[in-house]
Amino acid sequence: MEDFATELMSELENKISFIIPIFGGIPVPTAVVATWGIMAFLMILTLIFVRNLKMVPKGPQIYVEALVGFINNFFGEILGEEGKRYIPYLGTVLIYIACANLAGLVGVTPPTKDLNITAGLAFMSIILIEYSGIHEKGGKGWLKSFVQPMAILAPINILELFIRPLSLCMRLFGNVLGAFVIMEMIKIVIPAVIPVPFSFYFDIFDGLIQAYVFVFLTSLFMKEKMEEYK
């Protein structure tokens, strides 16, 4: 158990890839490098697929349009007409988290295994959630929403400001970490063949579900902030 604990600990550490030699050296963690890789990958895909767009879609354009249509429909249904302006951000986060969770398949450590990345995503989510409330109702209406449905619930409403990003962050991190630890254990017990179906479940299915759940919850919270209390 002692060996396993130390091995786990070394896997959990946020390794530093390299150090930028300015201002006395800025350490760059592996997760950030992996994120840059995903950004470059998505950017290249975007540049390839938006070439020669036609009115009547043909070939790969059909798939791209299907994906964009799915994202627009999915968020449009939840957020409604007034929330249309947030769809591009949510769609980007969905695609990014899905890519990040699937990065384990090509041998890259998933960036979402780093608590700092998930914390950053959750922080951006809570800012967007509150911003959508302020934008929709104005500052006064937003402040008033803390004492609804009744004034006695104000402490709970304020606590929610911290609980929501914390639970978003821990859910994503815990799932990716859990899948990782279980896969490591299975590999220690049986190194061949058996890990493959488990990898399908934990890496592909669970990763995609978690990406979906993250943006789904963010958009639900936004919807809740945007609508007037009746």
Partner 1 sequence: MTGLIAIGAAMAVMTGVGAGIGIGIATSKATEAIARQPEAKGDINKALLLGCALAEATAIYGFVVAVLIVLFLK
Residues engaged in binding partner 1 (CB under 8 A): 1-2, 5, 8-9, 12, 167, 170-171, 173-175, 177-178, 181, 212-213, 216-217, 220
Nearer to partner 1 among residue 64 and residue 78 (C-beta): 78
DSSP characters over 160-224: HHHHHHHHHHHHHHHHHHHHHHHHHHHHHH--SSTHHHHHIIIIIIHHHHHHHHHHHHHHHHHHH
Helices (H), 80-192: 87-102, 115-144, 154-189
Least distance from C-beta 48 to partner 1, angstroms?
32
Rounded Cα distance, 216 and 220, in Å: 6
Nearer to partner 1 among residue 38 and residue 179 (C-beta): 179
Least distance from C-beta 174 to partner 1, angstroms?
4
Type of residue at 106: V
Least distance from C-beta 30 to partner 1, angstroms?
19
Nearer to partner 1 among residue 12 and residue 32 (C-beta): 12
Nearer to partner 1 among residue 38 and residue 125 (C-beta): 125
